[in-house]
Structure 1
Amino acid sequence: MALFEGITGDPPPAFGIDAAQSTSGIPGILHTGHDRPYRFSFYSNALSATIHARSMSELPAEGQSFTDLFTGIPPPREPSAARDRPTRPGPSPVVGDKTPRHSNYANQPRHSAADAESSTWWLDVQSPTDDEMKMLSKVFSIHPLTTEDIQMEETREKIELFRNYYLVCFRSFDQDPYSPTHLEPLNMYIIVFREGTLSFHFRPTPHPQNVRRRIKQLKDYISVTSDWISYALIDDITDAFGPLIQGIEYEVDSIDELVLILKEAEQSDMLRRIGTCRKKVMGLLRLMGNKADVVKGLAKRCNEHWRVAPTSDIGLYLSDIQDHLITMTQNLNHYEKILSRSHSNYLAQISIEMTDANNQINDVLSKLTALGTVLIPMNLVTGLWGMNVHVPGQDVPGYAWFVSIIAALAAFAIIGGYSTYKFMVNRR
């Protein structure tokens, strides 16, 4: 914490100002414009409230050092001046989190040194700047490779163990169905120390708030450690896939039942449904990636008793998450096979309908051809004798020749039609 506090209690050298009182400084670290979002969230099981801040300098309260903040020691009480002193402008509670910033400090009991040593902290950072990453890397002795992965937004999911911490890269997704980036990958970087946890992400996500709510509900039944916080984040990210996979299951069952019984007017809509559902399935399979392998590797290191790896109890929890991930991946692969079969059935049905339509057209053309075969010779005879030539029987009075010609043509039509009909029947 010397880089935060300064060796002799003076303003930290990297900041160059008093972090407890000033609201301006290095851009991206200390500037506290009230129009900026809350990018820092600090939780400690030694404090009764989660601290939300726009910049790093707003995390400690007045009269509190960063060392006291991270060790869980609240600022000194000043009951006589607390009622008259105006509040310093700064962050306020985030809507929905129900965790006021420093409102409970005055009512909190002083912690002993033993309690401070056993406290667990968690700092969640959204969209860290390069200056903030350099500062955090110096303070917590983060390896340059880890810093580079976070700054470059490494997309590969992995687990890496270092001398004093381990890094978990785990991908979530944008859960807002009305967002244009819905289902797009969202990288979470979790750095776990023995004393606390650092988490980084570059877009708003509900996972940190969900984990804090879960801690509040289970605080009487669990011991909140840095390993448990990392497990809870991984578990919450995994659970976020559940509703999507359930919705895909309903859609796949509906498509599988309707694909062969829909009418022609509804077939274009079915093709769109199949394409949309397959796109979701492939997107989720891409998001699932090698999550099971990452969790398996982390659980394996728990059993191997690495110094910085989680404890054995967390290993059991991670094994449960691994089973969930494997089941989800198997379900998605199964849904993809069903959709592939439904797509093939849809195309086969279209092919059958096209074949039936072609057969009907051929049947009509055959009838027209038979009719033309009968009528063309008759038309030829009438056409020849319709020219300006001498017609036999022209000089004979009466209609004997005319009636004879008409009777001959009718007899020819009847014989030709009957012969064509018998030929087509025998052909079938």
Structure 2
Amino acid sequence: MSSGGEVYSHMAESREGRNLLSHPDYLETLVEPEARRQSAIRVFPSLLPAYTLPNSACEATSDGEFINIPPDKAFISKRKAENQDNATSSQQEADLKRFSFFSSALESTIYAADFSGLNLPGETAQGRFSFPKGESNGIWWLNMNNPTGEEIQIISKAFGIHPLTTEDIVTQETREKIELFPSYYFTCFRSFTSVDQLAGTDYTPFNIYVVVFREGTLSFSFAPDAHATRVRTRISNLKEYVSLSSDWICYALINDIVDSFAPVVSKLECEAEALEEERFIARHDDNLRFLQEISMARKNTTSLMRLLGGKADVLRGFTKRCTENYQVTPHMDIALYLGDIQDHVVTMTNSLIHVEEMLSRSHSNYLAQLSIDRITQGNQVNQFLTRVTVLATVLVPLVVITFIFGMNVKVPWEGGSNLNAWFGIVGSIIVFALACILIAKRMRYI
């Protein structure tokens, strides 16, 4: 901590003109080990034949035996292997572009897997961050994706970054903020990456750290993102219309981070409206799916509200400082752009609040519909039991009559020679049953 403070103090005292690197030797210590490591690594081309799908494939069991598996399962295994290969190749491609360097003195951006790859043959690290004498308004931008702790420490010492700033970057501080230092200002903003899952799309947050000098910009991120690429594309499209500066690059990064929320917020608004309409036309079999969808939508809405919640206050404070007499803060024209970003943040936050209200109302309607369905089912069961009770009430006396006349004892009309008694008994049973049914209908039991 003390050594970092000494480097920062020396940097703040010795900064003059365009000489940003007061300790270029630190960058040389970062370049030399990487150069030796690259020279030791040799990649040989693969001599294996191209993969062809056989009629059947072999699979090893736990006993060490090999069994044949059907071609369709072999194709599934091959497709899984291809997906893994694609993911690995994407990761390798991202690793090859961990470092990117943009400069107004260059025609294109330089990409490299490590810091040493940014230097042209015969060029020093200090020369990479310097400009010709005639170019007084040159701007550079070094973007680092997933840097190691050692790389951050060395770059911080070389550029005279305060140890507190270095600590925030190394520990991946999650709190959004903008801090002013004598020779630069430091910004920390949260963005997100989309992760597709079985239940839906999940949004994982990550941080982007930007250190802004008058001469250039350093940016750090620890997750794959396209913000830097989109900003560089925007610079190439607007280079004839804007006065490029390190403050403008910082604004463009913040603006791209905020703009990345807009499509997701619009998607959540459409999902909330669809869920609210679907609640009243969905079938009973769709209740479980509806509950999963509304739970996922509320989770994503809450996550985005948490990510957007602190941005308005940070931008408001930053805009206020731009209007005051600070040497390192952006100029007033950048403050106008920051105010526009703040308006976008407030608008999207209000939209998310409205989406949350719609989802909460849909959830309440869902619970109310479940209660109504439960009450309706209970009433139907009660009506069925009432009918069963009335039927039992009618049948029990009839069984009693037939039981009495069916006993093995002397009963009335047992010795009769005609059927008058039988018709009388059957008629009385029918009359009794009809009377009970009419009484039950009048009393609305059935």
Bucket of the pairwise TM-score, normalised by the shorter protein: 0.7 to 0.9
For 2:98, the aligned partner's letter is R
Structure 1 residues 381 and 362: alpha-carbon distance in aligned structure 2, compared to 1, 3 A threshold: same
Question: Which of 330, 346, 351 is the matching residue for 1:326?
Answer: 346
For residues 167 and 32 of structure 1, the distance between their equivalents in structure 2, rounded to whole angstroms, comes to: 37
Partner of 2:242: 222
Q: Does residue 74 of structure 2 align to residue 55 of structure 1?
A: no
For residues 337 and 33 of structure 1, the distance between their equivalents in structure 2, rounded to whole angstroms, comes to: 59
How many residue pairs were aligned?
Answer: 375
Partner of 2:296: 276
1:5 to partner: Cα distance: 4.5
Q: Report if the CA contact (8 A) 2:23-2:159 is conserved.
A: no
For residues 204 and 126 of structure 2, the distance between their equivalents in structure 1, rounded to whole angstroms, comes to: 38
SS in 2 for 1:208: helix
SS in 1 for 2:328: coil
Q: Report if the CA contact (8 A) 2:22-2:160 is conserved.
A: no
For residues 374 and 324 of structure 2, the distance between their equivalents in structure 1, rounded to whole angstroms, comes to: 63
For residues 32 and 406 of structure 1, the distance between their equivalents in structure 2, rounded to whole angstroms, comes to: 106
SS in 2 for 1:174: strand
For residues 335 and 407 of structure 2, the distance between their equivalents in structure 1, rounded to whole angstroms, comes to: 104
For 2:123, the aligned partner's letter is Q
TM normalised by structure 1 equals 0.81
Question: Which of 58, 64, 71 is the matching residue for 2:130?
Answer: 71
Question: Which of 298, 304, 307 is the matching residue for 2:327?
Answer: 307
For residues 32 and 252 of structure 1, the distance between their equivalents in structure 2, rounded to whole angstroms, comes to: 53
Q: Report if the CA contact (8 A) 2:31-2:116 is conserved.
A: no
For 1:53, the aligned partner's letter is A
For residues 125 and 16 of structure 1, the distance between their equivalents in structure 2, rounded to whole angstroms, comes to: 15
1:325 to partner: Cα distance: 0.3
| Structure 1 vs Structure 2 CA RMSD | 2.6
For 1:292, the aligned partner's letter is A
For 2:184, the aligned partner's letter is Y
1:31 to partner: Cα distance: 8.5
Residues 90-129 of structure 1: pairs in structure 2 closer than 5 A:
111=132, 113-115=133-135, 117-129=136-148
Structure with the largest fraction of helix: 2
For residues 434 and 123 of structure 2, the distance between their equivalents in structure 1, rounded to whole angstroms, comes to: 113
Residues 23-422 of structure 1: pairs in structure 2 closer than 5 A:
23-24=35-36, 36-72=95-131, 111=132, 113-115=133-135, 117-175=136-194, 177=196, 182-422=202-442
1:227 to partner: Cα distance: 0.6
Q: Deviations 1:267-303 (Å, cap 9, x if unpaired)? A: 4433333222212211211221301111111111101
> Equivalent pairs: percent with the same residue?
42
Q: Deviations 1:104-145 (Å, cap 9, x if unpaired)? A: xxxxxxx4x140x42111110111112211211111111111
Q: Deviations 1:55-111 (Å, cap 9, x if unpaired)? A: 112211112222221113xxxxxxxxxxxxxxxxxxxxxxxxxxxxxxxxxxxxxx4
1:186 to partner: Cα distance: 1.4
Q: Report if the CA contact (8 A) 2:195-2:204 is conserved.
A: no
Unpaired runs of 5+ residues, structure 2, are 1-20, 44-91
For residues 438 and 430 of structure 2, the distance between their equivalents in structure 1, rounded to whole angstroms, comes to: 12
1:156 to partner: Cα distance: 0.9
Q: Report if the CA contact (8 A) 1:173-1:182 is conserved.
A: no
Bigger drift between 133-142 and 346-355 goes to 346-355
Unpaired runs of 5+ residues, structure 1, are 73-110
TM normalised by structure 2 equals 0.78
Partner of 1:105: none
Structure 1 residues 47 and 31: alpha-carbon distance in aligned structure 2, compared to 1, 3 A threshold: farther
For residues 396 and 175 of structure 1, the distance between their equivalents in structure 2, rounded to whole angstroms, comes to: 94
